[in-house]
Structure 1
Amino acid sequence: MMIAEELRRSDLQVIECGTADEALDVLHSGTPVSTVLSDVRMPGSLDGVKLAKAVHEEFPGVPVFLTSSLAPPLDTAPHEGFFQKPYDPRVVVRTIKSTMR
């Protein structure tokens, strides 16, 4: 939630989802999404790694960033970056904004 507010303060529109399934529903709805930021550990039928795989397969133009307090996922989940918690929110904002350019 903290990073969502930091992204909003940086003039980015944010859609918060409680589960990876909900995030996929948003993408499938046709709502324009330019970037996905997901925790590796998510409730629901998909975790962040599976979400990254699904986004990569179904929405190849949408970059995915993952975050976790655990070590980076050793799985081959396609993602553009990983933020180890605790992270500096300014770094996350800067990275996401540079990807959107």
Structure 2
Amino acid sequence: MPKRIQLSTQREIINPHTGQRARVSTNEYTLLRGISRQGIQKEALISMVWGVRALQVSDSSYYNLLYRLRRSLASIGLENVVLTMPTYGVALDCEVELVLSQPLPFAQ
């Protein structure tokens, strides 16, 4: 079964296979919307997440945000989906589906 994440407009990430959900920060949400399976450069991601403040963002802030996103994804059963691409940036090992309204509750 391929890995998939649903991302609601209310900043919730949802594991569609289990129905587990977690609310994420605005920066985590922006980060997740910006990463693709092909990958994105670290500098482009920093610029996308922090905007005009990007020049003031430390490596520590960037890595802390990645850590928090990975922890949020793991909390809904999606471990190892944010991949580090050495000397480049990061990529996703899953599909992201934007859900415009709250999905129906998971039925077992």
* TM-score of the two chains, using structure 1 as the length reference: 0.28
Higher strand proportion: 2
Larger radius of gyration: 2
* TM-score of the two chains, using structure 2 as the length reference: 0.27
Structure with the larger RCO, 1 or 2 (CA within 8 Å, 6+ apart)? 2
